[in-house]
Amino acid sequence: MKQTKYIISVLVIVLAFTSACTDKVFETFTANDPVYLSYEDLRSAVKMTAAREMNNPGKIYFKDQYIFINEKMKGVHVYDVSDPTNPQNKGFIEIPGNVDIAIKDNILYADSYIDLVSIDVSSFASIKESGRVQKIFPYTLPTYDTKYPLAKLDETKGVVTGWEVKSVRQELEQRYYPIYYRGMNAEKMDMASYSSGGVNGASGTTFGVGGSMARFGLYESFLYIVNQNSLMTFKLNSNSEVTLLNTEYVNWNVETIFITDKHLFLGTQNGMIVKSLEVPERPSQKGSFSHMTACDPVVIKGDLAFVTLKGGNTCRGTLNQLDVIRMSNGYSQFQLLKSYPMYGPQGLGIDDDLLFICDGDAGLKIYNAADPLAITQNLVKSFPSINAYDVIPMNNYLFLIGEKGFMLYDYSNIQDIKQIGIIPVVKKA
């Protein structure tokens, strides 16, 4: 009899517990409620619109006589710089969620939130989308007010373009372990985040040229994109369609890509990785060079790699320096020649012996790098009032993007390097 009472008691407890677990419990709280752009609207949004002011510029890209300037998460400004002293604003290409571009012939390749889109820009008066690869990039989130939690996300509704702080009522999920959202913060994608074309030395007018912060790179009929921890290889087909051939894990926090001499040079927060393009469909590992944690774009001249290391919150490390690395044995062996202290270096570029470094609040610095062991002893010119982000040196002209906007410099006479033009940033009230 006692045993029967015991069994009945256990059944009552189990049933009560089961019933409690199946009840829905709701909570009401103030949160960041996502604002969605539907996938249908996202995939019908690409178009050329009237020229507009720059508010929040990102990467830069040069092709033929045009400079393309990313407006973070919005699209691309197009300027005709055939007369560098008088840039002409040709219009704005709307590409929601855009951070990076690369251009081959007349096709512009751009990220658009989770998609890779191909755009025919043979005529700016009538641009058109010519291809799209859907859902190849991580689901990203814009920055939000950290004083409030995030409301529940529903990725089926589309991409998140913003937040509305308000009272929300949602089902309370009863769990015994924490749940973390794994999406990348889209606003941080411009450092460790997607970038411009990253091709050193265009072949005729086939390829454009991007800055050192590039995450997109072109070689022959292939497009390479570094994405958080992977290298993606795409085949560019003659009909403007793009085919993803391979996704390869390379390193956590891979940031930038630079292509020269049939090799990929990947900058990560922990070092530089070199891959051969002997078989362009499948890049193969040649070697790697490690350093302390920091953001690190890289440019190459011959057997020398110039790498800027930047510390801080986004880059996690504490180093702020320029490293000069000699490479040998087919880019498979590395020797650190010298490190130079910097203030807060970001993008850099090199043309012959001139090395251009964007050194944060310390401004733009231009060095003669002919002697890699005495670079800082050979400062050619500095512009300390310019907080620069990235540069492209091209045909004795320097294209620069920074806090104040887009600037052009003439360095045909290295004894008299001078600013010749500016397109200012207009901050929203």
Q: Please write the tens of the pLDDT for every residue from 261-284.
A: 999 999 888 889 999 999 999 999
Query: Which of 179-183, 231-235, 292-296, 369-373 has the weakest average pLDDT?
Result: 179-183
Mean pLDDT value of segment 183-193: 41
Is the predicted pLDDT of residue 133 greater than 50, yes or no?
yes
Band of residue 23 on the pLDDT scale cut at 50, 70, 90 = low
Quick one: pLDDT at residue 167?
A: 93
Distance CA 195, CA 212 (A): 9
Token pair in block for residue 138 = 């991580």
CB 315 within 8 A of CB 308: no
Q: What is the mean pLDDT of the chain?
A: 86
Task: Decide if pLDDT at 208 tops 80.
Answer: yes
Q: Would you say residue 429 has pLDDT above 90?
A: no
**So what's the pLDDT on residue 228?**
78
Question: Which range is least confidently modeled, 50-54, 308-312, 324-328, 365-369?
Answer: 308-312
> Residue 259 pLDDT > 80, yes or no?
yes
Backbone torsions φ then ψ of 22, nearest 5 degrees: -90, -15
CA distance 264 to 165: 43
Count Cα atoms within 13 angstroms, Cβ side, for 371.
7
Q: Is the pLDDT of residue 378 over 80?
A: yes
Whether 170 is covered by a domain: the verdict is yes
pLDDT tens-digit readout, 108-130:
999 999 999 999 999 999 999 99
129 lies in the same domain as 23: no
Tokens of 414: 């290295």
Dig out the tokens for 413 from the structure: 């006479």
Q: Dump pLDDT digits (tens) for 284-342.
A: 999 999 876 667 799 999 999 999 988 765 555 678 999 999 999 999 999 999 999 99
* Contact (Cβ atoms closer than 8 angstroms) between residue 372 and residue 354: no
**182, 202, 237 — which closes off a domain?**
182
Give residue 346's pLDDT band: very low, low, confident or very high (50, 70, 90). Answer: very high
CA-based nearest residue to 116, from 188, 223, 209: 223
pLDDT at position 180 over 90: no
Domain residues for the domain of 176 are 2-37+139-182
CA atoms of 204 and 105, how far apart (whole Å): 10
Range in 176-190, 278-292, 315-329, 373-387 with the lowest mean pLDDT: 176-190
User: Region 221-227: what's the mean pLDDT?
Assistant: 94
The torsion defined by the Cα of 249, 253, 255 and 258, in degrees rounded to 10, comes to -40
Residue with tokens 């929300």: 168
pLDDT band, residue 232 (cuts 50/70/90): very high
Q: Which range has the top average pLDDT, 11-15, 180-184, 249-253?
A: 249-253
167 and 92 share one domain: no
Q: Are residues 173 and 194 in the same domain?
A: no
Q: Can you read off the two tokens belonging to residue 405? A: 């906007």
Q: Please state, in angstroms and rounded to a whole number, the distance separating the CA atoms of residues 346 and 59.
A: 12
Are the C-beta atoms of 191 and 267 separated by less than 8 Å?
no
Name the 3-class secondary structure at 247.
strand
Q: Per the domain annotation, does 240 fall within a domain? A: yes
Instruction: Give me the number of domains the chain comprises.
Output: 2
pLDDT at 10 over 90: no
Q: What is the pLDDT of residue 191?
A: 33
Percent of the chain with pLDDT over 70: 84
In a domain, 42, yes or no: no
Radius of gyration in angstroms for the set of CA atoms belonging to the chain, rounded to a whole number? 25
- Are 124 and 8 contained in the same domain? no
| Residue 200, pLDDT above cutoff 80 | no
CATH number for position 62: 2.130.10.10
| Same domain, yes or no: 123 and 158 | no
Residue 23 has, within 13 A of its CA and on its CB side, a CA count of 8
Average of pLDDT values for 371-384? 96
C-beta separation of 351 from 370 below 8 A: no
Do the beta carbons of residue 228 and residue 248 sit within 8 Å?
no
Do 99 and 243 lie in one domain? The reply is: yes
Amino acid 66: pLDDT: 95
* Residue 268 forms part of a structural domain: yes
Domain final residue pick, 182, 211, 243? 182
**Are 83 and 95 found together in one domain?**
yes
Asked if residue 207 belongs to a domain, the reply is yes
Going by C-beta distance under 8 Å and a sequence separation of 6 or more, which residues neighbour residue 233?
A: 222, 223, 224, 244, 245, 246, 247, 248, 280, 281, 282, 283
CB burial of residue 369 (10 Å; 0-12, 13-18, 19+) = buried
Q: Are 272 and 306 in contact (CB under 8 A)?
A: no
